[in-house]
Structure 1
Amino acid sequence: MNNAWLVFSSSLTARQQALRVKVWRRLSAIGAVPLKNSLWLLPGRDDCREHLTWLAQEVEEGGGEAVLLTCSDLGGFSEADARQLFRQARDADYAELEAEASRLAALLAASPEGEAARRAARAFLRRAERRLASIANIDFFPSGRGETVRLTLDDLAKALDGGGAGADTPRCRVQDFQGRTWVTRARPYIDRLSSFWLVRRRIDAGASIRFLAEGEAVPQGQEFASFDLPGADFTHRGELVSFETIAADFGIRDVAVRRLMGIVKAIDLADALLEDGGEDGGLPAEARAVKDVLDGLLKISTTDAQRLERAMLLFDALAATYTPTTGE
């Protein structure tokens, strides 16, 4: 938990409009978010305090008034709410980059040899690298969206070089995993549900699934593939959740899957924290909305098969939303 927050406020007259705009731009550049009533918020970090101290001095030297407070209580505004403000602001920044990258990727796919599209993509990538670094520098409470954007930029660069998104050789071949039964734990939630959606939509449209009861042995053999189980073929690996592991091992890197990665990971990690008796720290708005819909679907489902059927429709809808079309 954060022990302190920095709250900044400045007072400038109408005749000091130029300084007012300068202050607003500086606050935005250092990652501050508006709280309420002309108050700006930053986490209680030394570098943030230094930025605000210099800004307060600049305001006062310009004839205005500035106040910098250190607070442990934001007056009913919870820790999770505060973190959510920062995540929303940074996710909006990342979304702008991702949307432009997706648009240019669609143009390149439609006209691989078109010089205008290639020139626009090269210019964008030069700007995007600097922009991504500046956003990451003020991404105090990462939601995972930045990692997704990084993959998007990497794929655009590969497409520009002629390598395409699948230039790297994946660990697993799709043709080797046809007709298998995918095995996982019963009572599936976000990671298991999304993982099997990924299997059905990107690996084997005819794949079947088997949910294991507690204590039931994991079946072995070439006709099975296990996931999200201890020692499974595909499960959490390092910082990757099972959905990310499957995508990485099969080289699945399309825009929709990358967008889903951040959402699945955020919800899965938040769920793990809650199971351990902690707090989720405030999910990003996009992940919170998906979690709310998923939780509602699961509440009206009486079997694991119903859970899966309804979750498949949810992920299909999200993927359709996230997939750019040429000219969009």
Structure 2
Amino acid sequence: MKVLRRLAAIGAVPLKNSLHLLPERESCREQLFWLAQEVEAEGGEAVVLECAGLGNVSEAEARDLFRRNRDADYAELEGEASICSARLSAQTDDEAARREARAFLRKAERRLSSLRDIDFFPSGRGDALRLVLDDLAARLDGNGPELAQPSCRISDFQGRTWVTREHPYIDRLSSFWLVRRRIDAGASIRFLAEGEAVPQGPEFASFDMAHADFTHRGELVTFEVLAQDFGIRDVAVRRLMGIVKAIDLADALLEDGGEDGGLPAEARAVKDVLDGLVKISHSDAELLERAMLLFDALAATYNTTGE
């Protein structure tokens, strides 16, 4: 049991009953050799092997095995954070509850740091958990999102036509998803051709273009601006924030002649699906309809795993 706990602590995953796997990195190699010495010092036997291949297990399958193990750890900690947050909401003025939340947060920060150290092939769940813990810390400091007054009232934005540029991609598509699913279920959209004037009046709301009502603000992309201005902070929206921002920034780098090689695995998967939707869609309206389903599916998954 001691050996199994040590293997789990250094990030090894079981491949067979007595065979555990780590990626070929110097730090991992050292950890295994140290553990082998401990086993032998206790009278046991241990063999450390370096393999160019894993037989009938592909490299992609091995990477996925690591991701599943770490994602399960992140999900467990995120679930504990959700319980802690719910207790804090139910007992806002209870100092004992706040002390308990602070103690949990200290332990969770250490746990998250340890998990990141052994998250060899990140899926993005660690970034999502980081947001959850940041929100909890902000609430304990008196700066939580539930305490900040939104600058816009949802009731003031009913029945509007939302206007943006044609040929939408991640930020515009996800932003209108946010409008339809969290602000006005009956909202309509109008895509403007290049050079077309932006319609004015109380029946319109513009987004994600120059001088729009809602667009990039500082380091925030339009999706984040809308969520902030309307006070939308549910689990799914927080998870989508990181994905939308990562893809939007990567797209900007490509436009400038750079590369997007730093995309987290989760954002990369969403971008691949979105790129496919762009290719098979014959109009902006058709692309939007398909993208709405994509974001609905992601939100359903995130709300289930985040609660």
TM (normalized to structure 2)? 0.71
* Ranges in structure 2 where 5+ consecutive residues have no aligned partner: 253-257
CA 1:279 to 1:112, structure 2 compared with 1: closer, same or farther past 3 Å?
Answer: closer
* Ranges in structure 1 where 5+ consecutive residues have no aligned partner: 1-20
Residues 3-18 of structure 1 mapped to structure 2, 5 A cutoff: none
Q: CA RMSD in A?
A: 4.5
SS of the residue aligned with 1:74?
coil
1:210 aligns with 2:190: yes
Larger CA deviation: 21-30 vs 139-148:
139-148
Deviation at 1:302, TM superposition (A): 6.7
Is the contact between residue 144 and residue 265 of structure 1 (CA under 8 Å) also seen in structure 2?
no
Residue number in structure 2 paired with 1:120 = 100
Is the contact between residue 135 and residue 144 of structure 2 (CA under 8 Å) also seen in structure 1?
yes
For each residue in 1:248-280, what CA deviation from the matched residue of structure 2 results, as whole angstroms up to 9, or x when unmatched? Answer: 6766433221133456578889999xxx99999
TM (normalized to structure 1)? 0.67
CA distance in 2, matches of 1:78, 1:189: 33
CA distance in 2, matches of 1:76, 1:219: 60
Residue number in structure 2 paired with 1:138 = 118
CA 1:161 to 1:268, structure 2 compared with 1: closer, same or farther past 3 Å?
Answer: closer
Deviation at 1:321, TM superposition (A): 5.9
Deviation at 1:36, TM superposition (A): 3.6
CA distance in 2, matches of 1:41, 1:282: 22
SS of the residue aligned with 2:206?
strand
1:64 aligns with 2:45: yes
1:44 aligns with 2:24: yes
For each residue in 1:76-127, what CA deviation from the matched residue of structure 2 results, as whole angstroms up to 9, or x when unmatched? Answer: 5333333222222222111112112122222322332245543432221121
Deviation at 1:128, TM superposition (A): 0.7
CA 1:248 to 1:76, structure 2 compared with 1: closer, same or farther past 3 Å?
Answer: farther
SS of the residue aligned with 1:43?
coil
Residues 70-85 of structure 1 mapped to structure 2, 5 A cutoff: 70-71=51-52, 73-85=53-65
Deviation at 1:319, TM superposition (A): 3.8
CA distance in 2, matches of 1:130, 1:144: 18
CA distance in 2, matches of 1:277, 1:162: 40
Deviation at 1:303, TM superposition (A): 5.4
Residue number in structure 2 paired with 1:193 = 173
1:305 aligns with 2:285: yes
CA distance in 2, matches of 1:52, 1:30: 9
- Which amino acid is 2:86 matched to? A
CA distance in 2, matches of 1:127, 1:121: 10
Residue number in structure 2 paired with 1:87 = 67
Larger CA deviation: 87-96 vs 127-136:
87-96
Residue number in structure 1 paired with 2:132 = 152
CA 1:117 to 1:316, structure 2 compared with 1: closer, same or farther past 3 Å?
Answer: farther
CA distance in 2, matches of 1:70, 1:218: 61
Residue number in structure 2 paired with 1:225 = 206
Larger CA deviation: 55-64 vs 158-167:
158-167
For each residue in 1:200-231, what CA deviation from the matched residue of structure 2 results, as whole angstroms up to 9, or x when unmatched? Answer: 33455554323467xx346546655343x799
- Which amino acid is 1:112 matched to? T
1:181 aligns with 2:162: yes
Residue number in structure 2 paired with 1:18 = none
Is the contact between residue 193 and residue 308 of structure 1 (CA under 8 Å) also seen in structure 2?
yes
Larger CA deviation: 261-270 vs 144-153:
261-270
SS of the residue aligned with 2:47?
strand
CA 1:147 to 1:242, structure 2 compared with 1: closer, same or farther past 3 Å?
Answer: farther
Instruction: Report the number of matched residues.
Output: 296
Deviation at 1:57, TM superposition (A): 2.0
CA distance in 1, matches of 2:112, 2:76: 11
Is the contact between residue 266 and residue 283 of structure 1 (CA under 8 Å) also seen in structure 2?
no
SS of the residue aligned with 1:154?
helix
What is the aligned-residue identity percentage?
63
Is the contact between residue 234 and residue 245 of structure 1 (CA under 8 Å) also seen in structure 2?
yes
Is the contact between residue 148 and residue 261 of structure 1 (CA under 8 Å) also seen in structure 2?
no
CA 1:319 to 1:281, structure 2 compared with 1: closer, same or farther past 3 Å?
Answer: closer
1:55 aligns with 2:42: no
- Which amino acid is 2:132 matched to? T
Query: RCO higher in 1 or 2 (8 Å CA, sep ≥ 6)?
Result: 1
Is the contact between residue 166 and residue 191 of structure 2 (CA under 8 Å) also seen in structure 1?
yes
- Match for 1:33 among 13, 24, 49? 13
CA distance in 2, matches of 1:211, 1:81: 42
Deviation at 1:138, TM superposition (A): 1.4
